[in-house]
Amino acid sequence: MFTLPLGDTAQLRPLEPRHAQEFLTHIDRSRRYVDPWIPWATFSTDLASATAVLQRYADKQAADSARIYGIWLDGTLVGGVMFTRFDSTSGVCEVGCWLEPAGEGRGLVTRACRVLIDWAFAERGMSRVEWWVAAGNTRSIEVARRLGMTRDGVLRQHTAYRGVRHDIEVWSVLSDEWPAVRKAPAGEVPVGGAPEEEVPVSDVKAELDRLMHSFLGAFANTDNGRPNLDVVREVFIPQGTIIANIGDEPVVHDLDSFIEPREKMLTDGTLTEFSEWEVAERTEVYGSIAHRFSEYRKSGVRDGERFEGSGRKTTQFVRTPTGWRMSSMAWEDE
């Protein structure tokens, strides 16, 4: 059995029938978050049914038609990724995922899916990896975008689940699109004196994804959680600027003037059950600088009244001696 690190204290391992009790305990924790999109909760209600789910995947792996892997964080199973379909004859497979809230905001699913896609293309010679997702599952769609997939189309009312017919979006990435690799032009010597090594853009993209998720997650105070706005200082360079362009003219903040009023609102009861997340993004990397255009949604309760909103952000990044950091951000609300 292999164990692959996913960064921090997370690991990717095969999820086998012997893990059935651990799998059931994990599903019991995450039932209400996972079941709207995939039927783990329906299929896994006790030890026997949970074992049967994992045994089906073990049988399919033996037939080379599917595979399933778990994501462990600090020794606890918090989610997983799988090949829901694997057809080596046609060269087409489908990747899927699930995750409980304890594993969110760390980029674990994206990194785990990259491992699967790398293996499918490099080791098995697959031509196409697909991602099928219910049109309302915005977080899963976001993962497809982060993986660099293309939205091929929508299968209208394709799948019936819990008495409702769902539109299914089909996303894909092709073998000749994975991964994009950036090389320094021949003979060019970058700052620092040594010729630049090949840097997979997918690795840079994963780091920028992590920074954005950390920034957005810093404000969340759902389920009685506390926001952690110190994260804003961690993901930005000290001279960073954040600009609100939602009034008559732009309001420019340094980090302190941006953090202070928001920290107060999120901790004094003014703004509760707040979260914000990307629903679409486009990221471009140019050597040691990068740009990201994001569409986002947010929801919460302000002064006792529930609200939802959306808007757009544009974020600039720079590569520093200690890694990638945000340098500036501007946003507007719809």
* Lowest-confidence segment of 179-193, 211-225, 259-273 by average pLDDT: 179-193
- Model confidence band, residue 75 (pLDDT cutoffs 50, 70, 90): very high
- Model confidence band, residue 323 (pLDDT cutoffs 50, 70, 90): confident
Q: What's at 315, amino acid-wise?
A: T
**Interatomic CA distance for residues 89 and 262, integer angstroms:** 55
Of the candidates 207, 204, 205, 230, which has an alpha carbon nearest to the alpha carbon of residue 217? 230
Residue 331 and residue 244 in contact, taking contact as beta carbons nearer than 8 Å:
yes
Q: What is the pLDDT of residues 166-201, one digit of tens each?
A: 898 999 999 988 863 333 333 333 333 333 344 456
DSSP 131-167: EEEETT-HHHHHHHHHTT-EEEEEEEEEEEETTEEEE
| Predicted local distance difference test score (pLDDT) of residue 189 | 34
- Helix (H) or strand (E) segment spanning residue 262: helix 255-267
| Predicted local distance difference test score (pLDDT) of residue 179 | 62
Domain boundary among 150, 178, 206: 178
Judgement on whether residues 149 and 271 belong to the same structural domain of the protein? no
Judgement on whether residues 234 and 311 belong to the same structural domain of the protein? yes
- % of the chain at pLDDT higher than 90: 53
Judgement on whether residues 108 and 187 belong to the same structural domain of the protein? no
- pLDDT winner (highest mean) among 27-31, 39-43, 268-272: 268-272
Domain boundary among 178, 207, 222: 178
Judgement on whether residues 310 and 260 belong to the same structural domain of the protein? yes
> Mutual orientation of helices 108-122 and 138-146 as an angle, nearest 10°?
50
Judgement on whether residues 97 and 118 belong to the same structural domain of the protein? yes
Q: How many domains does the chain have?
A: 2
| Predicted local distance difference test score (pLDDT) of residue 41 | 67
| Predicted local distance difference test score (pLDDT) of residue 163 | 78
Judgement on whether residues 174 and 187 belong to the same structural domain of the protein? no
Q: Does residue 61 register a pLDDT over 60?
A: yes
Q: Which domain covers residue 217, as residue numbers?
A: 182-333
Judgement on whether residues 170 and 246 belong to the same structural domain of the protein? no
